[in-house]
Each structure stands twice: as structure tokens, then as C-alpha cells.
């Protein structure tokens, strides 16, 4: 078969074939011991090959035939973590080359059927995001974003979906309700802190109040909105921000008032005088 004649009607057979059968560039790949790698398409797009190999494989498929690659991607039932990570690193190539509908279908496919290679550390810069979380900003279907916020298995995807939804619908009450709900109901502390950060940023530009959440969030030691803020946390926050405990308590009370006024969100305080 000619390298460009990939059988998109039989994706399972194609996945079991040597990658070099379709993409001669892979014939020269060697193992660490110097032997021919003889990688199959399935290996490259699964856990049995390196993440970089998956990105290179996808890039070469795209270069061969963008439309047939789009069809082939849609036929896959699942994408491994390494394939998803590789795709997220070169997704801009797909956006540049593919027809708009094919590109968006590919993004949706990897987001819905893929898995992230890395766990989320809490960072929001693109470079530090897991693969699926990187794709969130490229989703255009708002229902996918809403679903990700409430049911996605990966904390990074839930967090980034919150950012995206309120950015696109800043005046939509339902969007903010989902963020409020995640702030107290999510099972991941960093997601809860992210939700509280989003809410805090929306109600105040006061750096003093924002730092109550932001500084703690960077260390995953912020005011957990699922639990009342206790004296002990006010003390540790005061030490981090070089403030007095009464100053911190007053700031938390101002923040709680602002959140309640804007979102009817209850940031519970439990000061003991």
C-alpha cells in the first residue's frame, strides 16, 4: 500500500500495522540498544511508546492528508494519555491545516475520548496544564464546558472549564452558579480554591482581598470554601501576608460580604474572640 493510502475504513487493522508501512519516516527509528524500533500505529498512539512519538505520528498523518486524518481520528474509540498529550502540544498545526469543522471535531474527540498524561498541579499557564485541560480553551460547545465543570474526571479540566465559561458568559447567572457549586462540592481542594479565586476576582479588584485567596491557592493551602475559615487559618494567613490577625479577619469579613452580595455565596467564618 502506498504511504498515503491509509485505510480509514478499517482503523483497527491500520493501528496494528507498522507505522513505517504508511509513514516511511518511522523506518529509521531505533531502540536505545540500536535495534529497529518497528513501532506500530497502535503502539505510537498508546502507552507503549513515548509521548513525543505520538506527536510526531499525528503531525506526519496530518501532513499526508488532513481530511482523511480527520476522518480517522473520528473513528477512534479512545485516545491514550500519551496520544492526547502529543495532540495537545501540536494542536495549532491541526488548526492551521484542517478545515474548521474537521479541526473542531478533532479537538472534541481528543477531549471527550482522551486522557491526560500528567496530573494537574494547580497552575493555569498553558505550559503546565495537562493535555485535556489545554484543549478546554479550544472547545466552542458551551454544553461541553458545563458538562466538564460538573462531571469531568480530571481536576485540571474542571478548573479550566470554569475559567472559560465565565470568560465567555460573564453575565450568565447559570455559569456563576456552577462555579459557586464547585467551590463547595468539588472533591479536589485545588479545584475548590480555583473556584473561590474566580469568584473573588469577580467581586473585587482590591489586591488585599484577592491575596487572601491567591497566595494560599499557590501553595494549595488557601481558605477551603467547603469549611469555615478558622482562627488558625487567619493566623497562618497573617504570617504569609505580613499582616496582623485582626487585619486578616476584617479582610475575610469584607470578602465574605462581597461574595454574598454578588453571588449569594456563603464564605463561612468561625472567628473565636
CA 167 to chain centroid, in Å, comes to: 15
Cα radius of gyration rounded to whole Å, the chain: 23
Non-local (6+) Cβ contacts of 91 within 8 A are 107, 134, 135, 138
- Of 54, 87, 113, at which residue does a domain stop? 113
* Residue 130 sits in the same domain as residue 261: yes
Q: Looking at residue 29, what is its pLDDT? A: 65
CA distance 159 to 167: 13
Nearest to 259 by CA among 147, 192, 191, 176: 176
Considering the domain architecture, whether residues 130 and 259 belong to the same structural domain is answered as yes
- Same domain assignment for residues 181 and 244: yes
Residues 169/178, Cβ–Cβ less than 8 Å: no
pLDDT for res 4: 35
- Residue 80 falls within a domain, yes or no? yes
The per-residue pLDDT for 76 is 86
Structural domain tally of the chain?
A: 2
**Rounded (5°) CA angle 77-78-82:** 155
**10 Å Cβ neighbour count for 162?**
27
209 lies in some domain: yes
Examine the domain organization and report whether 76 and 143 are in the same domain.
no
- Buried b or exposed e, range 174-207, using 16+ CB within 10 angstroms: ebbebbbebbbebebbbbbbbbbbbbbeebbeee
What lies within 8 Å, CB to CB, of 17 at 6+ separation is: 40, 41
> Does residue 79 belong to any structural domain of this protein?
yes
150 and 235, same domain (yes or no): yes
Same domain, 39 and 73: yes
Is residue 162 located within the same domain as residue 245?
Answer: yes
Residue 146 lies in a domain: yes
Range of the domain at 34: 11-113
Is pLDDT larger for residue 69 or for residue 37?
69
pTM for the model: 0.83
Among residues 86, 113, 140, the one where a domain terminates is: 113
Residues 42 and 102 in one domain: yes
Digit-coded pLDDT (tens) for 189-242: 999 999 999 999 999 999 999 999 987 666 667 899 999 999 888 998 899 899
Q: Grid coordinates representing 265?
A: 455565596
Residue 121 lies in a domain: no
Question: Do 256 and 230 share a structural domain?
Answer: yes
Asked if residues 98 and 66 have their Cβ atoms less than 8 Å apart, the reply is yes
Domain-located, residue 215 = yes
pLDDT tens for residues 131-190?
Answer: 999 999 999 999 999 999 999 999 999 999 999 999 999 999 999 999 999 999 999 999
Q: In this structure, is residue 30 part of a structural domain?
A: yes
- 230: β partners: 270
**Residue 118: predicted pLDDT:** 86
The rounded distance, in Å, linking the Cα atoms of 136 and 176 is 18
One domain for residues 61 and 144: no
Whether residue 146 sits in one domain with residue 68: no
Instruction: Determine the longest span between alpha carbons in the chain, in angstroms.
Output: 80
3 occurs within a structural domain: no
Same domain, 82 and 144: no
pLDDT confidence of residue 13:
37
Give the rounded distance of the alpha carbon of 174 from its chain centre: 21
Q: Which of 53, 82, 113 is at the close of a domain?
A: 113
Amino acid at each position: 500500500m502506498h504511504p498515503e493510502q491509509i485505510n480509514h475504513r478499517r482503523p483497527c487493522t491500520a493501528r496494528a500495522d507498522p507505522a513505517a508501512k504508511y509513514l516511511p519516516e518511522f523506518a529509521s527509528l531505533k531502540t536505545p540498544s540500536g535495534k529497529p524500533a518497528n513501532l506500530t500505529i497502535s503502539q505510537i498512539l498508546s502507552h507503549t511508546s513515548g509521548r513525543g512519538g505520538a506527536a510526531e505520528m499525528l503531525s506526519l498523518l496530518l501532513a499526508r492528508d488532513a481530511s482523511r486524518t480527520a476522518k480517522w481520528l473520528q473513528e477512534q474509540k479512545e485516545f491514550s494519555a500519551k496520544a492526547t498529550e502529543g495532540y495537545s502540544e501540536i494542536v495549532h498545526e491541526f488548526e492551521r491545516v484542517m478545515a474548521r469543522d474537521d479541526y473542531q471535531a478533532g479537538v472534541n474527540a481528543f477531549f471527550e475520548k482522551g486522557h491526560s498524561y500528567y496530573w494537574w498541579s494547580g497552575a493555569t499557564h498553558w505550559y503546565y496544564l495537562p493535555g485535556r485541560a489545554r484543549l478546554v480553551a479550544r472547545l466552542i460547545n458551551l454544553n461541553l464546558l458545563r458538562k466538564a465543570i460538573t462531571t469531568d474526571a480530571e481536576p485540571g479540566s474542571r478548573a479550566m472549564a470554569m475559567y472559560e465559561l465565565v470568560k465567555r458568559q460573564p453575565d450568565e447567572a447559570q455559569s456563576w452558579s456552577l462555579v459557586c457549586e464547585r467551590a463547595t462540592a468539588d472533591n479536589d481542594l485545588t479545584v475548590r480554591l480555583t473556584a473561590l479565586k474566580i469568584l473573588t476576582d469577580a467581586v473585587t479588584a482590591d489586591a488585599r482581598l484577592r491575596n487572601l485567596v491567591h497566595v494560599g491557592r499557590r501553595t494549595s493551602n488557601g481558605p477551603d470554601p467547603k469549611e469555615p475559615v478558622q482562627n488558625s487559618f487567619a493566623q497562618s494567613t497573617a504570617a504569609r501576608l505580613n499582616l496582623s490577625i485582626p487585619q486578616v479577619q476584617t479582610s475575610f469579613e469584607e470578602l465574605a460580604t462581597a461574595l454574598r452580595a454578588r453571588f449569594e455565596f456563603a464564605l463561612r467564618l468561625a472567628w473565636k474572640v
